[in-house]
Amino acid sequence: MKKYIFLLTSFTLILLYSCTENIDTSARYVFKADCVMTYLEKHEAYSEYVKLLKLTPISIRSKSTVGELLTARGHYTVFAPTNKAISNYLEELYKEDPSLLSAPSWDAFYSEQKRDSIFRVIVCNSIIDSGDHEEAYQVNNFPQETGTEFPLSNMNDRRLSVRYKGVDSIFINNTSPLSLTERDILATNGIIHQVGKVIAPKDITAASYFQQLLEEQKEGFLVMAKAIQACGLMDTLSKIRDEVYENLYLRGELPENMHLYIDGHFPNGDNWTPRHRLYGFTVFSETDAFWREQGLDPKAPSSTLLPQLVQWIVSHHQYSDDDQFVTDENYESEDNLLYQWTTYHILPFRTPADRLVFHRNEFGYDATRQTFTIPMYEIYSTMGKRRILKIYESKESNGIYLNRFPVLEQDRREVLHELSCDPDKVGCLVDRDPEHAVLNDIINCCIYPIDAPLSYNDKVRDNLAKQRLRFDGMALFPEAMNNDIRLKQSGDEKNQDVYIPATWIYNYFENMQMNNQTLFVYLNAYNYQWCNLHSDEMKAKGRFEITFKLPPVPRRGTYELRYKVLPNGDRGIQQFYFGSNPNKMPAAGIPVDLTRPIGSMNVGYEADGKDDDYNIEVDKRLRNNGVMKGAKSVTADGSSGDIERNRSSNLRYIITRQTLDPNETYYMRVKSVLDSEQKEFYMDYMEWCPKEVYDNPERPEDIW
């Protein structure tokens, strides 16, 4: 049996098999006054679990135990293992690593520290704390799609997944079966589900996973594993968390929360600092079956396979003619073609299957039914040489695609949708089936098979350069995804208002720099009806000065950089700067007054009427004054009645219009020009828009 290193406790752990133990159910519905802990204490089948709950502290910074927590007010989902499940787990630990314990017993551990770590594995992986604002999870509220993760993390900061096998057969993290009878047990402070196997996720890294494929010559993603190893990416893919940040937080040297006010009402309550700074990755990979069809043997030695792979990349023109590269065997060089091709398959953050494309409040979207309407996409920068990857989903696409470029119905009076898609623009279908994708087994990575080769070739770059590229402000920061900050499905205060430490305290977002007078917060806005892209927004207060690293443009050409804002009296007056040198950027225009909505500005604003020719003239007039109406695709609540475009308080500023180079890294700086501590910075989304779109003589830019 293959051994894995359990990285949080530095010893070997292996999952085990067990059956579900039957317990006495005669008193299940007569305990309405019982909290979770009281119910568990009343049933002998959980006696071992109860002991561990009473011995396990909530955290390193707390002396209270998890058992005490489960007697308190709250909304806890508890996947309670039976005594038999815990006994089987100890037996498996003993068989796997006799150096850990001399017998399958709690008294047989050679180290109390390691024994206590096992306590935490069993206890903290079994409980999801939904906080004060979200309900605990009953079975009918589990994620509906098999392999999908729960929206909230467990107490071990891991997101558990659900797999459905047959009628009423449910497994947590693929292997822990939910009892058919002992589920949805109601307590005053939560829900209890009995599991027949301890939930103990493998804490292996992407590097460990690929190394195992190499050692066992196991097909699936073997070609990708050999390419990743040859390119020297194993060390990068072994990273789990920023230990410097971790230690600062545990020692209390980072503020646990920050109380921010704007004119006495922004935001509501405390803003909580992230507990971790985790690393993560998403790998999109051609399968070994695909490579066999191309005449490559995945099991061939790397010295044979990799030159063949490079030759295949060259002969199939999986690159751009503008690319500068070499094809020698120094694969670790960023100038090497294999390195550039491989890193384009990797995003620098972990993306679960249900978060590849976000659906929240776009035009026509029904969140309760999760029905797709208009196409939605995300724009991200890949690893290695910074290039754009588009992740796309629509009602008509029947799945999520990479770099898909369909023909869209974009008329002002129609609903945005796909009309058709040329065969050479379909892109790569992402396989999210947990039978094929590696979704929950790796602590810092998800791996998705794709059905077509992925590359940043000329066709992809040309198509990207012919469309407006809208990217959410939080998409700039891999840390937001890795640490489950962005668009977390939780109304709890600590997940709604997240304080990002100032740069001088710790540079949490690598792609953002702040001056010492900036207080920055991310507002998740879950279940809010805010007319922002995905509802969420970024804010700050103080004499702020914030610099962002922007995603690259796909082709050399003239682009507009646009910045969407919701002006009101809380906002400030700010100067924008733009350039390729973050330490020396020229100002982009004059200071912009964000305190006034577009309707009160002398820019020629008029609401849309019935005459589209006149509406187009109004749009042109606004553009001549450096502003645009908001997007029709963004709504407050998904309905077609309250859209961003129809709000005079929503607008897009054209920050700059100039010729840009895809090989340059560009930055935008936003600086307050007011001598005030209370006026705020605000940002929702930005856009790169090529001249071919905004100045097209045949077809005006769409309003979506």
Q: Which three-class secondary structure string do you get for 603-648?
A: CCCCCCCCCHHHHHHHHHHHHHCCEEECCCCEECCCCCCCEHHHCC
Residues 79-103: what's their mean pLDDT? 96
Structural contact between residues 426 and 404, judged by C-beta atoms closer than 8 angstroms: yes
Neighbouring residues of 131: CB distance < 8 A, sequence distance ≥ 6: 74, 75, 490, 491, 492, 493, 494, 495
pLDDT in tens, 254-285: 888 777 654 444 445 578 899 999 999 999 99
Domain covering 469-694: architecture: Sandwich (2.60)
Side chain identity, residue 411 = D
**Residue 188: exposure state from Cβ atoms within 10 A (0-12, 13-18, ≥19):** middle
pLDDT tens across 199-220, in order? 999 889 999 999 999 999 999 9
Q: Compute the distance between CA of residue 24 and CA of residue 182 in angstroms, rounded to an integer.
A: 10
3-state secondary structure of 339: helix
CA atoms lying within 13 Å on the CB side of residue 494:
14
* Cα–Cα distance, 659 to 99 (Å, whole number): 64
Q: Measured between alpha carbons, how far is 204 from 6 in angstroms, rounded to an integer?
A: 7
Q: Cite the residue boundaries of each domain of the chain with CATH code 2.60.120.
A: 469-694
Is pLDDT of 672 > 90?
Answer: yes
Ramachandran region, residue 442 (left: φ > 0; alpha: ψ -120 to 50; beta: rest): beta
Which pLDDT band, with edges at 50, 70 and 90, does 641 fall under?
confident
Q: How far apart are the first and last CA of the chain?
A: 55
pLDDT band with cut points at 50, 70 and 90 for residue 370: confident
Q: Are 205 and 238 in contact (CB under 8 A)?
A: yes
Whether 8 has a pLDDT exceeding 50, the answer reads no
d(CA 325, CA 337): 5
Per-residue pLDDT of 237-256, as tens digits, reads 999 999 999 999 988 898 88
Q: Which helix (H) or strand (E) holds 124?
A: helix 112-124
d(CA 246, CA 239): 13
pLDDT in tens, 144-199: 888 899 999 999 999 999 999 887 899 999 899 999 999 999 999 999 999 999 99
Q: What is the mean pLDDT of the chain?
A: 91
| Res 440: pLDDT | 87
Q: Which two tokens stand for residue 435?
A: 């039978």
Q: Does domain 5-195 have CATH number 2.30.180.10?
A: yes
DSSP output for 661-678: -TTS--EEEEEE-SS-SS
Which one, of 353, 357, 389, 390, lies nearest residue 372 by Cα? 357
**Is the pTM value of this prediction over 0.75?**
yes
Phi and psi at residue 438, to the nearest 5°: -105, 100
446's enclosing H/E stretch is: strand 445-450
Rounded mean pLDDT of 459-467? 98
Mind listing the pLDDT tens digit for each residue in 473-483? 999 999 999 99
Closest listed residue to residue 668, CA positions, set 655, 681, 684, 680: 655
Could you give the residue range(s) of every CATH 2.30.180.10 domain in the chain?
A: 5-195
